[in-house]
A = this chain, B = another copy of it.
Amino acid sequence: MTETKKRPSRGGRAARVQARTNPAPVYLPTLNRAVGPIDLLGPDGVEKIHNAAMTILETTGIEFRDPVALADWKRAGADVEGERVRIGRDMLMDLISTVPSTYQYHARDPQKTVDVGGAHSIFANAYGAPFVYGLDGERRPSMLEDAHNFFKLGQMSQALHVPGVLPVEPQDVPVPHRHLELVHAALTLTDKPIKGSVLSATAARDTVEMTRIVFGEEFVDQNVVVTSLLNCNTPLVWDETMLESLRVYAAANQPCLLSPFVLAGASTPASPQGGVALLIAESLAGMAYSQIVRRGAPMVLGVAIMGVSMKTGAPMMGSPEPGLMNLLVGQMARFYDVPWRSCTMWTGSKSPDLQAGFDSANTMWPVLLGGCNFIVHSAGFLEGALGVSYSKWVHDSYQLEAFHRFFSGLKEESLDALLGDVAEIGPGGHFLGTDHTRENPLLINPLQNNDSYEQWVDEGAKNADMVGRDEAQRILHNYVQPPMDADTRGALDDFVAKKRLEYQT
């Protein structure tokens, strides 16, 4: 905490000024959606997609490129031919029937524990960008210091529930050590729910070990303390690295987001219905396998959907068809009664500009309207997920507060009292001074500039990018590390030190 050195004192007048101008974050709970979800399909339409997904798994089948998984499937009674696994619908539906509809996702600070599934939605951080757009706006490779900074921003964000585990991919840490540094940072720089490493079975095992140090062995066996992201190679391939991690986490009763990575029109059909039938088949197959490993382990139906440009072959984020697909995935997840995750707030733009704003919002709305439970990449992405911008990160974080407010819906209110105000104020008056207005302030986004043009010019004519960078700096300056008892911290440090040595040989 080098920041504290700069401050002369934390008490007295300075502290009061500090508290007034930099108040402590007021954390938003799990979003309980009261707006939507939107069901595009009638029961027939749902049945059609379900049948198509089942037919894919029964006739075409899906590849599990991993000998252990193939043996497991064979033992469970599936039709295994080489790496191709064909799964009958009765078997598949039986397996996924034990996936819990909802789970509690525990944070080190119990106040920050959230709920996954049902009408709940949570916002999780961006994931794995090799580049950052720094506090100076310049693009460069991501470093461990950036990862630390994004954990700090994640801890300070009022609306981001899950700061993640890989906010950026730190290029200055050797690959075998990365998960150690990152899980350690996630557990010590934040007290929010963490995500797990899926780099390898070892990385997954170490993640689970470290959560056991912090939460206790028995607690971890019975409760969710980490959720991890596993991608299926669409179409229809689950690979060994992912499956090894899945086995570790499922055995430890910790959920994974089982996520086909979809380029609509390339890795799936361009048709929303056809694409969703395929990706549902893929995610359910992974989920079914998790239940062979441990019945009842919580799992999340996952998708990462973007389009592909027929002109250039480039992925497109923020276009309408993936939005429709998200609505369909949500409806199918409700049909299977499992939680689901999707991606949002991403853009192909190389600058936190107008395109980035449109793309980000246009990916968030369909995901929330689809009733998504676990919303990943909620802050910071640029450059098609290859870069994270400090500026955009803080903008996105404030946008999450607005989405939280909107999707929380209406408060119960007495219209009679409001009618009294209208009668009293009458034509031509104003409501600025009423009790109701004072007690129900509209949400203010501190980064949204609504000043006059002249005032804006007077204050430096800052565009949103510059405003965001200033704000990121301010928040990092005010970061307060959450406490951790010394024994736990010591055990965690020892574990990491021991493993670091081990992985050097």
Contact = CB atoms under 8 A, between A and B. Distances in A.
A419 interface: yes
A236 B426 contact: yes
A219 interface: no
Contacts of A437: 265, 269-270, 310
Interface stretch (A160-168, A173-181, A273-281): A273-281
Contact of A270 (B351, B399, B440): B440
Interface-central residue, A308, A313, A355, A402, by most chain B CB under 10 Å: A355
Contacts of A361: 357-358, 361-362, 365
A449 interface: yes
Chief secondary structure at chain A's binding surface: mixed
A451 B314 contact: yes
A501 interface: no
Interface residues of A, number: 127
A505 interface: no
A429 B235 contact: yes
A319 interface: yes
Nearest to A389: B354
B316 A444 contact: yes
A237 interface: yes
| Identical chains in the assembly | 2
A308 B415 CA distance: 21
Contacts of A405: 320-321
B266 A430 contact: yes
A319 B402 contact: yes
Contacts of A391: 354
A298 interface: no
Given A63-B428, A139-B453, A426-B236, A392 B354 contact: yes
Given A354-B392, A354-B395, 6 more contacts: A63-B427, A270-B442, A317-B450, A323-B406, A324-B410, A328-B410
